[in-house]
Amino acid sequence: MIDKLDFLVRFWELKARNASLGEPLGPQEQIELLSLMQLVTGDLDAPAAGPVERPKGALPAQMIGDGTILPVEVRSVSAAAVVVSCAGAVPVGAQVILRAADAISGVEYALPCNVLWVYRASPTIVALSVDGIPTRAVFAGVPEPRMSMPLALGKHARLRA
């Protein structure tokens, strides 16, 4: 799931920058956006409100908004919506930030979102639509293993007591 999120963060970033009135995308970024749009064409419809099973690779995250930080679990990621589960409730239309981090790759994501729908159950299921320019930040380099001295292999003498 983290790989799909990483891929879509770039798509959402280019899409939001293209839609804004700021600096236009460069020629290479325009080509990249068109290529990404072709890849996500079947993924542009938001899922219907309802239960979403917990996948094997569910990603822990935080939903930040209106003075609260709510622990959530990312259950589904598509170009149209990120579906999360949580113990609390948020109102439809609320603006939140979804923050997720991957300790293995050392990357943190912050996605500005609007709440599309809420399915009240146990746990509550919430669909979020990315609305703005998401960020992807590397917070730690994954160190390479290194050895301080070579291993000595060969015949060893036994110690006697």
Residue 147 lies in a domain: no
Give me the pLDDT at residue 41, please.
Answer: 84
Structure tokens at 115: 């709440």
Residue 152 lies in a domain: no
Residue 161 lies in a domain: no
37 φ/ψ angles, rounded to the nearest 5 degrees: -60, -40
CA distance from start to end of the chain? 56
Task: Please tell me the pTM assigned to this model.
Answer: 0.79
Residue 149 lies in a domain: no
Q: Residue 140: is it exposed, middle or buried by C-beta count within 10 angstroms (0-12/13-18/19+)?
A: exposed
**Tally of domains within the chain:** 1
Q: Give the pLDDT confidence of 31-74 residue by residue, as tens digits.
A: 989 998 888 888 888 889 999 999 888 899 999 988 889 999 99
Residue 156 lies in a domain: no
Residue 6 lies in a domain: yes
Give me the pLDDT at residue 146, please.
Answer: 54
Residue 160 lies in a domain: no
Q: Which residues, given as ranges, of the chain have pLDDT below 70?
A: 21-22, 140-161
Residue 98 lies in a domain: yes
CATH, residue 14 = 2.40.10.220
Give me the pLDDT at residue 145, please.
Answer: 52
User: Which domain range does residue 21 map to?
Assistant: 2-138
